[in-house]
């Protein structure tokens, strides 16, 4: 699926593996992320399948850049994927819930510390969505005029915001439940 994240970006502009890592980190990281090495490996694979092509751009005092472009075949593959419905729920993994599920015999204080720590992390993340993510998208909309793209990005930002609000509310409930059992 990283495949489609890369094709998606290359459908906007030509880029190197390094560029693509930066792009992922500042935009899709909250719902799709990847290590630099995985990006390089996947690009190589996509080029073998002729979904993208590359050109070496020499540089002075820096390693040459390998700049990728999407091919017609790549564009078609991307469009096909975008149009085919998902049809099922995403399977997800949540380490905190796994720990909570099995920690009936643990110290309540230890668990409460963990829940408070998680709460502060989620509050920080929520603030990011509400300030910098918001501004980056608004600025992109104003400077490029790409209304539609900005609208879609804004919806993914809004998901993040709502997810964090929900997570914090749940943590507060969990803390309350556990506090009722420790005093």
Q: Considering Cα of 159, then 162, then 168, then 171, what sign does the dihedral take?
A: negative
Question: CA–CA distance from 150 to each of 5, 11, 138, 154, 162 (Å)?
Answer: 17, 16, 7, 6, 18
Establish if 162 lies at the interface with a copy of itself (CB under 8 A). Answer: yes
What binding mask, one character per residue, do residues 102-131 give for a copy of itself by CB under 8 A, x or -?
xxxxxx--x--xx--xx--xx--x------
The window from 14-22, 104-112, 131-139, 157-165 that contacts DNA (CB under 7 A) reads 14-22
Q: Considering Cα of 29, then 30, then 32, then 35, what sign does the dihedral take?
A: positive
Q: Are 43 and 98 in contact (CB under 8 A)?
A: no
> Which residue in this structure is represented by tokens 């509400």?
130
Give the whole-angstrom CA distance, residue 111 versus residue 65.
49
What binding mask, one character per residue, do residues 39-78 give for DNA by CB under 7 A, x or -?
-xx-xx--------------x-xxxxxxx-----------
Which of 11, 36, 53, 69 is in the footprint of DNA by CB under 7 A? 36
Find the shortest distance in angstroms from Cβ 108 to a copy of itself: 9
* Segment 37-40 long-range contacts (CB within 8 Å, at least 24 positions apart): 38/2, 39/2, 39/6
Give the whole-angstrom CA distance, residue 67 versus residue 162.
37
Chain residues that interact with DNA, rule: CB under 7 A: 1-3, 16-19, 22, 33-38, 40-41, 43-44, 59, 61-67, 91, 93
Chain residues that interact with a copy of itself, rule: CB under 8 A: 1, 4-5, 8, 11, 27-28, 30-33, 78-79, 81-83, 85-107, 110, 113-114, 117-118, 121-122, 125, 146, 148-149, 151-153, 155-156, 158-159, 162-163, 165-166, 169-170, 173-174, 177, 181
């Amino acid at each position: 699926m990283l495949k489609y994240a890369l094709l998606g970006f290359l459908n906007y502009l030509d880029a190197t593996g390094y560029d693509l890592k930066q792009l992922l980190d500042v935009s899709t990281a909250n719902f799709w992320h990847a290590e630099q090495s995985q990006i390089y490996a996947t690009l190589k694979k996509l080029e073998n399948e002729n979904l993208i092509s590359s050109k070496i751009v020499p540089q002075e005092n820096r390693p040459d850049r390998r700049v990728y472009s999407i091919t017609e075949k790549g564009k078609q593959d991307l469009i096909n994927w975008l149009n085919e419905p998902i049809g099922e729920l995403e399977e997800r993994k949540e380490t905190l819930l796994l720990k909570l599920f099995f920690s009936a015999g643990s110290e309540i204080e230890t668990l409460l510390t963990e829940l408070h720590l998680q709460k502060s992390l989620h509050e920080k993340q929520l603030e990011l969505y509400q300030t910098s993510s918001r501004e980056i998208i608004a600025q992109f909309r104003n400077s490029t005029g790409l209304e539609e793209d900005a609208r879609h990005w804004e919806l993914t930002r809004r998901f993040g915001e709502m997810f964090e609000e929900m997570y914090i509310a749940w943590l507060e409930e969990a803390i309350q439940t556990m506090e009722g059992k420790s005093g």
